[in-house]
Amino acid sequence: MAGHSKWANIKHRKGAQDKKRAKEFTRAIKDISVAVKEGGGADPESNPSLRNAIANAKGVNMPKDTIQRAIKKASGADAENYETVTFEGYGPNGIAIFVECTTDNTNRTVASVRSIFSKNGGSLGTNGSLEFLFDHKGVFTIAKENITLNLEELELELIDGGATSFENETDFLRVYTDFNDFGKMNQKLEDLSIETKNAGLQRIPLNTTELPVEDAIKIMNLIEKFEDDDDVQNVYHTLEITDELIEALNEGQ
């Protein structure tokens, strides 16, 4: 999962430098809305999905009053009616791309996603056509400053909670679980009083493709166009994130 870790780090650095805070807040508000609607109400104590959405909103530094307004609006009669839809396709050089959206207008979202693919040398495929290329995993990012246990002791505790692997970064510990153990790990972290920087279900590529840096940057630009779309929540891909690509992206910032 080293390539996935590098991509996570790129997004982390990039997010700290650019001015897309409004987009991050929009994503967090949509997650809160969906959690209230589908997860069992507006009380985070009885709605694990909402607790997770709130934690992720805090992870992008959303103010507490903004979070509370989002919860109140999501539980009101005039709440937006969001639904989650996914799209699968290929970018240039056969790179598989999986796009997750939360939208109040599916027709608009379909048209937008298809346009981004077609205008950038890609093609939209049928749903389910790329599922076999990704492993659906629970991914938890924990700031080490929030960890009081010895790391070895913590990993043993988390294995008991369903952890299958770890990535030990300088400032973060990233924990992976099987799809079905996502809720179990959430509960384990709550029991240990450990707050996550971010937690969610992600699609991890089983295999990645390395491209020349010039071609890889085109893929990254395509992915950024998806991420700039208001309806898009997450984008996953099978591009190998090499050290050379990271260096080129950093130089271009």
Considering the chain, what percentage of its residues have pLDDT values greater than 70? Answer: 91
In what order do the strands lie in the sheet containing 163-168? 163-168, 172-178, 134-143, 198-205
What are the residue ranges spanned by the domains of the chain?
2-74, 83-132+207-241, 134-205
Residue 40 Rama label (left phi>0; alpha psi -120 to 50; beta): left
User: 98-137 burial string, b = 16+ CB within 10 Å, else e?
Assistant: bbbbbbeeeeebbebbeebbeebebebbeeeebeebbeeb
Q: Say what the pTM is.
A: 0.85
Is 134-205 CATH 3.40.50.1970? no
pLDDT on residue 16: 45
What angle (nearest 5°) sits at the alpha carbon of residue 228, between those of residues 102 and 75? Answer: 30
Whole-angstrom distance, CA of residue 113 vs CA of residue 127? 13
**83-132+207-241 with 134-205: one CATH topology?**
yes
Q: Which residues contact 138 (CB under 8 A, 6 or more apart)?
A: 162, 176, 177, 178, 179, 181, 182, 185, 199, 200, 201, 202
Q: What CATH number is given for 83-132+207-241 in this structure?
A: 3.30.70.980
Which residue's entry shows tokens 């009380």? 43
Q: What is the pLDDT of residues 142-176, one digit of tens each?
A: 999 988 889 899 999 999 999 999 999 889 999 99
Q: What is the pLDDT of residues 2-18, one digit of tens each?
A: 445 555 545 544 544 45
C-alpha dihedral sign at 169, 172, 173, 174: negative
Residue 188 · residue 160 · CB < 8 Å: yes
Homologous superfamily (CATH) for 2-74: Integrase, N-terminal zinc-binding domain (1.10.10.200)
